[in-house]
Amino acid sequence: EDKVVQSPLSLVVHEGDTVTLNCSYEVTNFRSLLWYKQEKKAPTFLFMLTSSGIEKKSGRLSSILDKKELFSILNITATQTGDSAIYLCAGPYGGSQGNLIFGKGTKLSVKP
């Protein structure tokens, strides 16, 4: 059964801290893993990872995939209160065309 597991489920840090969010997955015929940020409404796309060991960066956010260990991390450095959100990890269902299976998300709260 395909599944995506995120940890921790919630995290509270202070501004300026660095955080690492984890995503482990078991999906057949792996093609890609996606990270989304959800504030109050629509999840917004952050990264899509297809190759192992290649870091993707966007400002203070970065993510990397380990295909051998079936694992991905999302790093946020120098956190700000605006980083407070739910971070979702997702992978396509094995054999499907475009359907995603989501983890339960990590709720990050950044205190001033």
Under the rule (CB under 8 A), what is the footprint of another protein? 6, 9, 31-32, 34, 36, 41-45, 48, 88, 90, 92, 97-105
Nearer to another protein, 17 or 100 (CB): 100
What's the closest the beta carbon of residue 82 comes to another protein, in angstroms?
18
In SS3 terms, the chain reads as CCEEEEECCEEEEECCCCEEEEEEEECCCCCCEEEEEECCCCCEEEEEECCCCCCEEECCEEEEEECCCCEEEEEECCCCHHHCEEEEEEEECCCCCCCEEECCCEEEEEEC
What's the closest the beta carbon of residue 1 comes to another protein, in angstroms?
11
What's the closest the beta carbon of residue 64 comes to another protein, in angstroms?
18
